[in-house]
Each structure stands twice: as structure tokens, then as C-alpha cells.
Amino acid sequence: MLFNAVVGLSSEREVTLRGPDRLAVVLPMFDEEGGAQAALLSVLAQRSPADAVVVSVNGGSDRTGDVVADTLRRLGYRPGPRSDRAGLLARVTVWQRPSRLDVTVVEFGEATGKAECLNAVVGSGIVEAERVLAVDGDTVLDPGFIAALRDGFYRARPERCGGARRWVVEDVALQSGAATSRTPENATSVATLISRARDAEYAFSAVLRSGQTRRLGASRTFGRTRLYTVVGCGFALRRDAFPIPTDTLTEDHDLTLAVQAGDDEERSIDVESLAARGFQVVAGGRVHDPRAFFGAGETLTLRRGGGARFVTGAVMHTEDPSHLGGYVRQVERWTGGGLQNVLKRTLRSARSLAPNVRFAMLSAQLENLLGLALLAYLPIWLGMRTVDPRTDLPFLGLALWFALDVTLTAAVAAVGFVRLERARGARGRTLFRHVITGVAAGVGPLVVLKYVHAVCYVTAASRVVPAHLRRAGADPQVAVTWVRPHRRVRQRAHARTIGIGFAMASYAVVGFAAVVSLAAPFDGVARETWQRTSSGAPIEYPAYLGLPVQRSGPALVVDVRLPGGSEAGIVPVLDVRADDRLAATQSRYCPPHAVAVATEVPRSLADDAGVYEGLSPWGLLTLARLVPVLTHLEAAATAYDVPAQLLLQVLLNESFLDPLAHGPTDDVGMSQVTADALALLRSLATDPDSGFANPLLVGVPFTLYDPDFSICAGAAKLAWSRAQPGGTDDGIAYARYVNPIDGVVGGRVSARHAPIVAAFDAVRPLAAAMSAVVAAHRADPETVGRSARSLLAVADGVAAGTYGLETAYRMTAALVDELGVDDAAFYEAVVERLYADLDVVRDAEFELLTIVARDD
């Protein structure tokens, strides 16, 4: 649809070639008492009159025949004797008026389909013209309709052929006029809504059909016309394209496809022959002799085939249903006929189907099925959105698709309104007013009624597909075609539609409820987590990636209050830029008295210690990385009431205690904090009801690389993970720590995160070894080796408040070098990048370090 609309927006490089073909108008009427007079008068009032006019009264139960007769009498016509035609089950009367065109009235004795009556009128010889214009009995033609249609019989266009330019005269077999909707007199609000929606639909279709009838290149698909269907209330057909198919619900659609499946025939014709036959060229608003326009002696190519043309200038006004029941029944017939034509052609002769016809049919059905698929998935999306707000992206995508659909519909309809109004003579402010009014009043109702179309499509498919597969069904012309738009039908006629509409609504409700009920037990944590991470002001994450540590980002909250309502200002928060001596009880970000969940019994790495069995070189390297932050790790474990060894295990697997660690997905610091994790921590820290309130965590400036902040953040996140369902299992708690939303699915570690949890389990022995050496050292320093004792002395100094983190790292760096531990690059990076501008290390401290190392 979008492709054809874009093509339809472009202008054609062709000129009008006005030919001598005669045009007969046939008006099939069935129960058209209300519209017959206006339709007939509009045909007889054409600026370019038809060569013959035939009114076919196709049975029915109202006074349509009397209205036709009365109208002709008032115009001065007199009836001739009635006669019968051989092979025609109808009475024929020729009405005459001096110096005026005769009008032939054909009256069938029983209900007769539109296609059948057209075939009969042409086949019986009543109509002898080369072209036949079929106009519905509820349709009123603009005065210039026939003139515009005549100018569309032939068109000349320049083409390239073998490097040379040639003029091709196209003689199309089928032409479609452009429709607008006639609002009924004393229309109800429903009738007005339907009429406005149809007006916008007709305007949109005017652009779409222009694109479908545009030839692009020389391929069999796009080099030929791809019109899905003519406007059935007013179309012209070349005589040799008869008869019209009668075995589907929509004979006009069937005819359109059948005509376009025909092959093009080309032959040469000279300009002299064109002029002799009475052809004239219309270009630049002037009429030219072909010899003067193309050049005397020029030879053109006449292409006569099964092409179609949409004539925007041929405007007509048709009656649309005045109530929703009639509208639904009409749309069901149209969509059912479309499906019948697809089944009729693809199941019998799919391989021999013309490529342009295949494209026209299947692209339209694909669009319908895609729309149904989106509607079918909508309740699932909504259910997912309810239980898991992370589905904002697809939900937003659906909203954007809807907005794009409305915008494009309005834009294309606006172009269509401009073309239709110009064809009717509107210019300037009048044109602008009509276009704006048409778009504003019609696009909204059109979009709303599209959802009714979905129910109609399914209903039509439920009727058509089984009947076609059984090769059964009623005669469509008698049973369906002649139910006029204005006529009300019994409620039971809509029983299937109502049932399918109810079934579709039930599917939506049940589908939504099923998704919610199945997913809710497992995704409650994900839903809460998403709400926490997406709430609040956006975090400027790069602001918290500053190095060295004094380049902290701003506090995430202001007016911080501690649990119990006291102000944070009473808490002694030391500025690391002024004094690097931060004792364990003076953590800047998680002092136990500031955390709601803090335990009164200090958490120690020695709590769960096993038997100390000495350290390997790798164990000694790990201990060296641990000792500067051991005090802060135990303080954070106490503040958030998590096992210190478990917290150490997490930090080992996340970063191997590297405060400068930066993961591939912007996981930063020792505990690998991401932007989403920071948003989650902000929500937990500032929510008194979260159970993990600690306003100081985000209430003072920080950088994610600061070991003090990172350890506190890791402890807070671990505590929250352990508090969630299944959190007593360390593997589940860690999976949720790594990914609070997707880490745990259905109460189990997700398949995606299982390898990460396995790696976490693999470092448990190393964390246990650290616990064992710390416990042994605190029980009796002499029971551990000299190297371990030297390193743990640094941790003792931090716990006593003698050293701060920066000093501890520098002292450990010197010890590592002294002990021959191969980790110098790590300490060099920490000292130079994390504490580059700090100079608080005293000579006395290095003297102490040297004495401790040598005494061991």
C-alpha cells in the first residue's frame, strides 16, 4: 500500500489522446427508489454526453421503475412500445425526446445481479458502443465525469526502446472513476461518521489507485498495471473485455483482476491514420492535430491490452451505508469477494497467474493478515507490559506504528482531497478549506472503523474459505450483491459477525489474562525492579566515572534524612581530599547507623572460616588485593547484614577486587555497578519502605571507582538480591545480583546466566581460603606465614584508623614488591589513576611498613 501510494504521488509523463470511441452508459438499479432520479439526471446532464444510455431495472420490491419513468416524463421523454429481445428475459422500452439522446429502459422480471444484467445488455446488442460505463443507481456523476473518462481512453507517453525514443499510445481496457461519499439527508451521527470515514478512504484510495495503475519499467509485475479493484459504482469497460465474471461476491474486483491478466498487443500506427480516425492531442490546455504534435510521418506504437487506468478527474458521489449494520455487511461482502478471488486464482492456476495480478492480490491480503497479526499480538503485549514493564520498547513501537499509520493516512488522504477537489473546480481558499475539513473530519473515523474491518475480514473468511473448499455456496449476486447500503437487515443476518466479534474480544481478554496469570508469579521481582530503575530523574551516568577519586559526581539526592528522621548533617563524613584516614566506622557511604537493615552484631570474614592450610602464590596475590579494603568489606557486610565471605565471593567474581575494573557493558568498579544498577540503588537507598534505606549511599558525592562506594553498593545490591524469592540460595541471589530483571526466570537461574553463576561457584574456595587466613591471623598472628602476616598488618592499620585506603594501597604495593608477588601493574594503576593527586603518605608509615616486613 505504501509503495503504491508513493508511486501515486508522482506525476505521469503522458499526454491525453482523445479518441473517437463511442461510450454507452448502463445504470443497473435494484430497489433504488430513493436514488434513481438523481443518478439518471446526472448522466443526462453531462457536458460531454454519452452516445447511449440504458437503465436496467433489475427486479426488486420498490418503485424504482416508476421513478425512472416519472423522471423521463418530466424531462419531456415519451416511451415507445415495449418489446422483448431474443435471449433476454426482460422488457425493453426506448424513451425518446426530439433532439435529445434516446434512453433505453430494460426491466427484468426477477432479481438480477449487476454483472448479469451488464452482460445481458451488451450481449443482446442493446449496447453497441466500443466502451460501456456502468454506474450504480445510487451514484451521482459530476457534470464533467464522462468528459474526463473519454480523455482517459487513450494516453500517449514517451518510452525508451533499444536506446531510441518512441511514442506509445496506450489503449486501456478498464477505467475507474474517483468516488466521494454522499451524506444522506437528515443523517444520524452514525451515518455522518460512516460518510466522513468513507470520504477520507476514497481520497486515500484516489492516490493509491493512481499508483497501482502506473507502469514502472518493462517488467511483467511493475511494467503493467496492478489495480486491486476499480471503484465499482462507476467504471468503464472496453467492449471486448466482456463478459464480466459472475461467480464471486465482488464482480468488479473479479473483473479488474481478469482484465489485467490479459496480454498486451502492440502494433505500429502512423500519425496520418490517427488523424484520419479522428484522434486529437490535448496538451497544455489546448487541442492539437496529431500531425502537428508528433510530427508528420511519425510512426507510433499502439499498445492495446488489459491495462487499467484510474481517472482522478472523473468524480462521482456514491451512497454509503447509513447505519453500522449495513456498513459491516458491505465490508464483509467486499473482503469476502477479495478472498474468493484469491482462492479462485491461486488454488486453480497459481503458476499461470500473471505476475502483476499476483502482486495486486497477495500484497493486499498480506497487509490484511499483518494487521490481524498485530491486533492478535496486542493483548499479549499488554499482558507482558502489565507483568513486565520492560516491554515498553515493543509497546512503544506499536504506538509509533499507530501514530505513523494515522500520519501517513492523513497525509495521503490530504493529497487525494486536493486532487478530487481540483477536479471539481475548487481553488484557493475554497480548496484549502475543503481539504482541511475532509482530513480533520474523516481520518479519525476511518482509523476507528479499520478495527471493524478486522472483524469483517475474519467473518468473511469464515464464510468464504470453507464454502470455496467445499465448492458450494449460494448465488452471490442474488443473495448478497443487491442488499443496498441503506437497507436494514434482520439482526440474525449479523449473528456470525457478532459471534466472531465476541470471540475476538474474548481472545483478547483471555490472552491478556493468561499472560498476566502465567507470568506474574515469576516476574514480580522484574516488574518491581523495572519500576525502581525507571523511576526518578535520569542519572547522568558519565558524571560518576571520574578519576581520580576526588573527581566525584554530584549527590543523587538532596535533603538526606537518616532512618529515624535525623538529618544526615550530624553524621561525621570525612572528606577524602582532606584526610585519607577513614576508619571502618567512618565509611563515607554505608556507616552502619545510616542503614536501615544494619545488624547489631558485626559481620566478619572470620565468621564462616574453615581450617587455615596456608596460601598458594595465587592465594597470596588475592590476599594482597583484599587487605586494603578488608575493613570496608566487613563494615559494608555489617551495614547490610550479608555474610562477609559471600560479599567477598561476589567481589572476586565481579572484578577480582580491582577498583578500576570496567566491563564491556559499562560495568564499573569493584562491584561492577551499571547505570541501571545505580538507578536501582538510588531507589532502594531513598525509599524508607524498601528495607534497605541508606540515604548516604547516594546522598554525598561519589565516583563508581571509589572502593568505599563500590563495596557499599555491592553489599546493598547483594542484600536486596538475597531478600527476593529464592534469595537464600547463593546462586539465585548472585544471578539476580548480576541481572536483577533477567537473571532469574521461573524461580531458577536463567540459562543465559548459568555460566556466570558457575564461575561464581568456582571462586568459593578462594573466598573460603581468605576467610580462613583472616580468622587464623586474628586468633593468633603467629599461626600464619610471614607474608600473610605482613599483609594483614596493613588491614589491621586500616581497622585501627591509622591508614586510609590510599595509604593502604601504597603500603601493600611496597609489600607486594618486597614479597615478590607478581601484581605490580595492578598497584601502579591504582596508585596513579585512583589516587593520582593525593599525597598523604608519610615517611613514618613507610618506615613502619619496612619494619613489619623485615621483622617477619
Name the band, by pLDDT with cuts 50, 70 and 90, for residue 488: low
Residue 210 has pLDDT above 80, yes or no: yes
**Of 98-107, 154-163, 696-705, 714-723, minimum mean pLDDT range:** 154-163
How many CB atoms lie under 10 A from the CB of residue 777? 23
Mind listing the pLDDT tens digit for each residue in 536-583?
888 999 999 999 988 888 888 755 555 555 444 333 333 333 333 334
Q: Which of 689, 699, 489, 519 is nearest to 594 (CA)?
A: 699
> 539 near 678, Cβ under 8 Å?
yes
Percentage of the residues of the chain whose pLDDT score is greater than 70: 89
Q: Which of 816, 588, 593 is nearest to 709 (CA)?
A: 588
Is the model more confident about 523 or about 703?
Answer: 703
> 246 near 114, Cβ under 8 Å?
no
> 637 near 713, Cβ under 8 Å?
no
> 624 near 812, Cβ under 8 Å?
yes
Name the band, by pLDDT with cuts 50, 70 and 90, for residue 207: very high
What Å distances lie between residue 661 and 401, 624, 651, 656, 770, CA to CA? Answer: 41, 17, 11, 9, 21
How many CB atoms lie under 10 A from the CB of residue 210? 26
Question: Crossing angle for the helix pair 707-723 and 630-640, nearest 10 degrees?
Answer: 30
> 86 near 140, Cβ under 8 Å?
no
Q: What is the pLDDT of residue 581?
A: 37
How many CB atoms lie under 10 A from the CB of residue 48? 14
Q: What are the backbone dihedrals phi and psi of residue 106, each rounded to the nearest 5 degrees, phi first?
A: -110, 120
* Mean per-residue pLDDT, 152-177: 89
Segment holding 267, helix H or strand E: strand 265-270
CA gyration radius for the chain?
42
What Å distances lie between residue 189 and 192, 195, 323, 445, CA to CA? Answer: 5, 10, 9, 12
- First-residue to last-residue Cα distance in the chain: 84
Mind listing the pLDDT tens digit for each residue in 408-440?
999 999 999 999 999 999 999 999 999 999 999
Is the model more confident about 557 or about 112?
Answer: 112
Q: What is the rounded average pLDDT for all residues in the chain?
A: 87
Q: How far is CA 666 from the centre of its chain?
A: 30
State whether the Cα torsion 581-584-588-594 is positive or negative. Answer: negative
Q: What is the pLDDT of residue 53?
A: 97
Q: What is the pLDDT of residue 558?
A: 59
Q: DSSP 3-state assignment of 681?
A: helix
**Of 4-8, 306-310, 392-396, minimum mean pLDDT range:** 392-396
To the nearest 10°, report the CA torsion of 742, 746, 750, 756.
90
Residue 642 has pLDDT above 60, yes or no: yes
Mind listing the pLDDT tens digit for each residue in 405-416?
899 999 999 999
Q: Would strands 174-182 and 103-108 be described as parallel, antiparallel, or unpaired?
A: unpaired
Q: Which of 200, 198, 231, 249 is nearest to 312 (CA)?
A: 231
Segment holding 179, helix H or strand E: strand 174-182
What Å distances lie between residue 418 and 363, 412, 445, CA to CA? Answer: 27, 10, 19
C-alpha cell at 622: 588475592
Q: Please give the Cα distance from 794 to 190 (Å, whole number).
A: 85
Q: DSSP 3-state assignment of 340?
A: helix
**CB under 8 A, 24+ apart: contacts of 840-844:** 840/579, 840/580, 840/804, 840/806, 840/807, 841/806, 841/807, 841/810
Q: What is the pLDDT of residue 567?
A: 46
DSSP 783-844: GS-HHHHHHHHHHHHHHTTS--HHHHHHHHHHHHHHHT-S-HHHHHHIIIIISTT-----HH
Residue 846 has pLDDT above 80, yes or no: no
Residue 195 has pLDDT above 80, yes or no: yes
Q: What is the pLDDT of residue 570?
A: 31
Is the model more confident about 738 or about 90?
Answer: 738
Provide the 8-state DSSP code for 566. -
> 235 near 175, Cβ under 8 Å?
yes
* Mean per-residue pLDDT, 713-717: 98
Residue 397 has pLDDT above 90, yes or no: no
Residues in contact with 533: Cβ distance below 8 Å, sequence separation at least 6, in sequence order: 676, 679, 680, 683, 740
Q: How far is CA 23 from the centre of its chain?
A: 47
Residues in contact with 262: Cβ distance below 8 Å, sequence separation at least 6, in sequence order: 173, 241, 305, 306
Q: Please give the Cα distance from 697 to 674 (Å, whole number).
A: 15
> 176 near 78, Cβ under 8 Å?
no
Percentage of the residues of the chain whose pLDDT score is greater than 90: 66
Name the band, by pLDDT with cuts 50, 70 and 90, for residue 491: low
Residue 86 has pLDDT above 80, yes or no: no
To the nearest 10°, report the CA torsion of 301, 177, 418, 451.
-120
Q: What is the pLDDT of residue 348?
A: 65
Q: Please give the Cα distance from 734 to 756 (Å, whole number).
A: 9
**Per-domain residue ranges of the chain:** 589-834
C-alpha cell at 643: 555474610
Between CA 704 and CA 707, with CA 706 as vertex, the angle to 5 degrees is 115
Q: What is the pLDDT of residue 7?
A: 79
Residue 98 has pLDDT above 80, yes or no: yes
Q: What is the pLDDT of residue 10?
A: 75
Name the band, by pLDDT with cuts 50, 70 and 90, for residue 850: very low
Between CA 103 and CA 111, with CA 106 as vertex, the angle to 5 degrees is 145
* Mean per-residue pLDDT, 736-761: 93
Q: Tell me which residue has cell 493516512.
A: 409
Q: How many residues does the chain have?
A: 856
* Mean per-residue pLDDT, 760-771: 96
* Mean per-residue pLDDT, 714-741: 96
What Å distances lie between residue 307 and 228, 280, 300, 310, 353, CA to CA? Answer: 12, 21, 18, 10, 15
Residue 680 β-bridge partners: none
Q: Please give the Cα distance from 635 to 711 (Å, whole number).
A: 9
* Mean per-residue pLDDT, 377-395: 71
Phi-psi sector, 746: left (phi>0), alpha (psi -120 to 50), beta: left
> 684 near 696, Cβ under 8 Å?
no
Does the global pTM surpass 0.85?
no
State which amino acid sits at residue 565: G
Q: Please give the Cα distance from 25 to 145 (Å, whole number).
A: 12
Residue 478 has pLDDT above 50, yes or no: no
> 815 near 794, Cβ under 8 Å?
yes
% helix, strand, coil for the chain, step of 5? 55, 15, 35
Residue 335 has pLDDT above 90, yes or no: yes
Q: What is the pLDDT of residue 535?
A: 80
Q: Please give the Cα distance from 564 to 112 (Å, whole number).
A: 88
Q: What are the backbone dihedrals phi and psi of residue 625, each rounded to the nearest 5 degrees, phi first?
A: -70, -25
Name the band, by pLDDT with cuts 50, 70 and 90, for residue 762: very high
* Mean per-residue pLDDT, 382-406: 73
Q: Which of 337, 346, 323 is nearest to 479 (CA)?
A: 337
> 657 near 622, Cβ under 8 Å?
yes
